[in-house]
Amino acid sequence: MIDGGMLKSEIKALVFDQYGTIVDMQGGLTAAVGDFLEGKGWDGEAHRFVTWWRRTHFENSMIDALSEGPHTPYREIGQQAVAYVMDRCGFSYTSEEVRWLVSEIERLKPFPDVIAALHRLKDSHVLAILSNGDVDMLEAAKPHIGFPFDHVISVQAAGYFKPHKATYKKAVEILDLAPENILFVANHAFDCIGAKSCGIRTAFIDRRKRHFGHTPHQPDLIVKDFKELADVLC
């Protein structure tokens, strides 16, 4: 990992993943679907349904990014994923219920440590989001996050889901900075690996206390939360 002082002097912009890094996707969706699942007769824990949904969504988005053809919107991938999981659970459901479940992603709230840290970071850095979410979904999420980022970039601009290299290169192009002057911040190892493979420095938010993995694309910084990130960079 790179020295924190060097990062502090060289990083001009921070680019954040949104789902699971800025906003609490697992916790927020688990809270949102509890009553719905109970009404469907689900006798398991709500977070397990959400994990299944999110894993299916991730798998389908990776297939889309690797396949020939136009980029499929995040919302559509999400609706396919949640419908598949409900099929596997044996639920009867409507298309309106599928749309409602996916729309809950737009109302997710930030982790408790995020906003205060962003306010500390904004005075000395350009702050941006690079998300797999669709443009309109990211726009709808803004009032629920409550922080004015300098840029909110959807992968729709590149036509691929992260961690395709085109997504990170598009962010570099939009920010008009050298990759080494950008720090990409994510709670997901795959996202940090994708950015690092493009020459962008990375910070791994290790909220779940999990080993990063044996990859040549190790993060430049590992912190437990956004407060620690701001402590290092401010």
pLDDT (tens digit, 9 = 90+) per residue, 7-38? 888 999 999 999 999 999 999 999 999 999 99
In this structure, the answer to whether residues 84 and 151 fall within a common structural domain is no
One-letter identity of residue 218:
Q
In the chain, % of residues over pLDDT 70: 98
Under 8 Å between Cβ of 209 and 35:
no
In this structure, the answer to whether residues 159 and 226 fall within a common structural domain is yes
- Please state the domain count of the chain: 2
Question: Domain boundary residue among 107, 134, 161?
Answer: 107
In this structure, the answer to whether residues 38 and 89 fall within a common structural domain is yes
pLDDT score, position 6? 74
Average pLDDT taken over every residue of the chain: 96
pTM: 0.95
Question: Residue 80 sits in which domain range?
Answer: 25-107
- Structure tokens, 173: 């192009």
Q: Which residues, at least 6 apart from 5, have a Cβ–Cβ distance to it below 8 Å?
A: none
In this structure, the answer to whether residues 19 and 114 fall within a common structural domain is yes
Decide: helix, strand or coil at residue 21: coil
CATH classification at residue 82: 1.10.150
In this structure, the answer to whether residues 138 and 219 fall within a common structural domain is yes
Confidence of residue 2 (pLDDT cuts 50, 70, 90): low
**DSSP class of 157:** G
Average pLDDT estimate for 102-123: 98
In this structure, the answer to whether residues 102 and 122 fall within a common structural domain is no
The length of the chain is: 234
Per residue in 145-202, pLDDT (tens digit) is 999 999 999 999 999 999 999 999 999 999 999 999 999 999 999 999 999 999 999 9
Average pLDDT estimate for 84-105: 97
In this structure, the answer to whether residues 116 and 178 fall within a common structural domain is yes
In this structure, the answer to whether residues 141 and 33 fall within a common structural domain is no
Decide: helix, strand or coil at residue 108: coil
Question: Domain boundary residue among 107, 139, 161?
Answer: 107
Report the alpha-carbon distance of residue 68 to residue 64 in Å, rounded.
Answer: 8
Question: Domain boundary residue among 107, 136, 159?
Answer: 107
In this structure, the answer to whether residues 127 and 194 fall within a common structural domain is yes
The residues that are catalytic are 17
In this structure, the answer to whether residues 17 and 130 fall within a common structural domain is yes
In this structure, the answer to whether residues 217 and 171 fall within a common structural domain is yes
Spell out the long-range contacts of 88-91 with Cβ–Cβ below 8 A and sequence spacing 24 or more.
88/52, 89/40, 89/42, 89/49, 91/40, 91/41, 91/42
Under 8 Å between Cβ of 114 and 22:
yes
CATH classification at residue 182: 3.40.50.1000
pLDDT score, position 8? 81
In this structure, the answer to whether residues 145 and 168 fall within a common structural domain is yes
